[in-house]
Structure 1
Amino acid sequence: MTADETRPQAGGSGARTGPAPTVTRRSVLKSLSVLGGAGLVGGATLVGCTPDATRSTGTAATADDVHQPDRPPLPPDETPKGPRFLTDQEVRLLEAMLARLVPGDDQDPGAVQMGVATYIDGKLADFAPYAEPTYTHGPYAAAYERSPDEVEQGEVPVAEAQLYRYGYQGSRVPRDTYRLGLAALDRYAQTRFGRFFADLGQDRQDEILVVLDDCNQRSEAADQITGEAAGDATSDAGAGVVTTSDDVLDQAEEVFGAVDPGGFFSMVRTDTIEGMFADPVYGGNQDLAGWRLVGWPAAQRSYSPDEMLHGTDKQPRSMHGLPVMNPDRPDGGEPALERPHHGVGEG
């Protein structure tokens, strides 16, 4: 499902990212950028303001660093073992799907090796604290391209460019979409090829996922067409080229039933992006493979002026391993010292 083209690392030509990462799955970036992945991995974020005179080695915080505050999520060594929401069979099915979205192996990690299934399972188990605004009761926001009159009565008209600000909207929460969608995926695989999805060969699995993707593309293309007939489903209406026949797409939608096959596919693919590039304390991005893939140093306690101008060779590390900024020693110890700078504070 992924392409073979490559894409430059984030950080620009002047970024110093240290030794070449062992991860080489550059094709991931092109395949995921279709969903807006280009903006997922931005520049380094300042999380501290005290310049650091030494280069980080990427090692965990020592006893002298911190006294770190307790905060969720749990560190990796305390993460519950086994799935928390999905069943073992659902995890097997999901991993079969992830393995085709972003293939990989132990030497060149893909979505499965990065622990994306664990990330998705944890996200579903902890659905209540989703950061994204979530609306499960109408009226729902609906996009218009030129005029609010394009929106049906009973929906809230929102300019298409602003719809992303309204978060997830729908009466079926992601938990239900995953549960129904995974079951429907197996049902569709049996309808087409007489076997469960995870038991099919890779070519057959890809064929099914192309159908789901084209269901999504057809739906997006139809939404973008205003004031004229939808025309041929194979036309490019800005949402991607649909290569699957209408008969096959209609059959997939019929077999999937209550859950939209294209919407389910889009949700899994978006969550795959998150799981690959989120902080590893959430279960994905194991061994920092996603960050190393794009050459991002991730959260660091501070950056020196030289690093801000020319890049950094600091190695990425999980936010759980970061020491707190300027910690005072416990029990009335000496406070952290500020480094004097010439001309600052001089009378």
Structure 2
Amino acid sequence: MEHALRFTRREVLKALLAGGPAAAAAGMPTGGAAAQAAGNGTAAPAASTPSTAAAAPYVWRFFNAKEVRAVEAAIDRLIPTDALGPGAKDAGVAVFLDQQLAGAWGSGDHFYKQGPFVAGTPQQGYQLSFTPAQMFRAGLASLDQAAASGGKGAFADLDSAAQDQLLKRMQAGDIPATPLPSAVFFAALLDATIEGYFADPVYGGNRDMASWKLVGFPGAYASYMSDVERHGVAWTRPPISIADAAHGGHGGHMR
């Protein structure tokens, strides 16, 4: 936890570009990673996904009001807003998680669920019976319960220092959460938070393509054939999402 909860945005970006804590976090993968690990595809993008702060209020599909407070508070500590730009909460990562958990990935579609479930080796990855939806529901509840045991209300009611300490305990497996180990939930939450932060905005997170702008990622341009031979020329075009490309926002030369 000493590393995970001291991430600045710059450290997250550097780590991901170098191979990334998303790959190192030992937990259930989401989206494309889940397709490799468990044969499961990413949830289909929802047409109602808000892409800007001016969009209509988002209607939560999986999280209840208490869970929204908990998950937003937790992801805000994992990738906080700083001088470089918005963090996970402000970039809408909770919406990404909500859509994934409400879809096929959340229900464990194509996960092997017949058992027996026994402890595996690190190389074998996730070995428990929980679907992602079950894991997040139980994990967020245990986070609030641990906070309440200290007499200061729910996790979202704690100050940032107390939240960090509780997340450190969760990562270390020190929060009673049987039969779901708290360290397993923490790793899954961190992995999913990072993925949602860098996913295409059509999936709910990375609002206004904030993370792509930070790393200079161009996004979903359909073709680069006009630009591949233009060596040494800076890419100055703004990034576009899958939704933008579908409406003709692609192709052409750099300007």
| TM norm structure 1 | 0.55
Indicate which of 82, 89, 97 corresponds to 2:59: 82
Indicate which of 208, 211, 220 corresponds to 1:290: 211
TM-superposed CA distance for 1:30, in Å, is 4.7
What is the match of residue 92 of structure 2? 115
1:99–1:123 CA distance, 2 compared to 1 (3 A): same
| Whole-angstrom distance in 1 between the partners of 2:48 and 2:87 | 22
TM-superposed CA distance for 1:186, in Å, is 1.0
User: Structure 2 counterpart of 1:190, which letter?
Assistant: A
1:3–1:200 CA distance, 2 compared to 1 (3 A): same
Deviations 1:262-291 (A, max 9, x none): 011111111101110111111100000121
Q: Which runs of 5+ in 1 are unaligned?
A: 5-24, 38-70, 146-159, 216-248, 326-347
Contact residue 116 and residue 272 of structure 1 kept, 8 A:
yes
Q: How well do the aligned residues superpose, as a CA RMSD in angstroms?
A: 3.2
User: Structure 2 counterpart of 1:34, which letter?
Assistant: P
User: Structure 1 counterpart of 2:156, which letter?
Assistant: A
Contact residue 221 and residue 245 of structure 2 kept, 8 A:
yes
2:12 maps to 1:28: yes
Indicate which of 120, 135, 140 corresponds to 1:182: 140
Higher relative contact order (CA 8 A, sep 6+): 1
How many residues matched?
A: 217
Contact residue 105 and residue 113 of structure 1 kept, 8 A:
no
1:186–1:30 CA distance, 2 compared to 1 (3 A): farther
What is the match of residue 68 of structure 2? 91
1:304–1:170 CA distance, 2 compared to 1 (3 A): same
Larger Rg over CA atoms? 1
* Worse-superposed segment, 200-209 or 185-194: 185-194
1:134–1:265 CA distance, 2 compared to 1 (3 A): same
| Whole-angstrom distance in 1 between the partners of 2:139 and 2:71 | 10
2:212 maps to 1:316: no
- Structure holding more helix per residue: 2
Q: Which runs of 5+ in 2 are unaligned?
A: 25-43, 249-255
2:248 maps to 1:261: no
1:79–1:307 CA distance, 2 compared to 1 (3 A): farther
| Whole-angstrom distance in 1 between the partners of 2:171 and 2:226 | 45
User: Structure 1 counterpart of 2:101, which letter?
Assistant: L
SS in 2 for 1:273: helix
Contact residue 213 and residue 266 of structure 1 kept, 8 A:
yes
User: Structure 1 counterpart of 2:216, which letter?
Assistant: G
User: Structure 2 counterpart of 1:93, which letter?
Assistant: A
| Whole-angstrom distance in 2 between the partners of 1:129 and 1:184 | 19
What is the match of residue 41 of structure 2? none
How many percent identity over aligned positions?
Answer: 37
Contact residue 115 and residue 286 of structure 1 kept, 8 A:
yes
Contact residue 75 and residue 320 of structure 1 kept, 8 A:
no
Deviations 1:271-320 (A, max 9, x none): 10111011111110000012112211111011035436636333211101
1:79–1:132 CA distance, 2 compared to 1 (3 A): farther
What is the match of residue 16 of structure 1? none
TM-superposed CA distance for 1:174, in Å, is 1.1
SS in 2 for 1:26: helix
TM-superposed CA distance for 1:113, in Å, is 0.6
Indicate which of 89, 104, 109 corresponds to 1:127: 104
1:203–1:177 CA distance, 2 compared to 1 (3 A): same
| Whole-angstrom distance in 2 between the partners of 1:34 and 1:323 | 31
1:121–1:106 CA distance, 2 compared to 1 (3 A): farther
User: Structure 2 counterpart of 1:116, which letter?
Assistant: V
TM-superposed CA distance for 1:28, in Å, is 2.6
| TM norm structure 2 | 0.72
Contact residue 201 and residue 207 of structure 2 kept, 8 A:
yes
Trace 1:1-347 onto structure 2 (pairs within 5 A): 1-4=5-8, 25-30=9-14, 33-36=20-23, 72-74=45-47, 76=49, 81-104=58-81, 108-127=85-104, 134-139=111-116, 160=123, 163=124, 169-192=127-150, 194-215=152-173, 249=174, 252-253=175-176, 256-304=177-225, 306-307=227-228, 310=231, 312-323=235-246
1:207–1:141 CA distance, 2 compared to 1 (3 A): closer
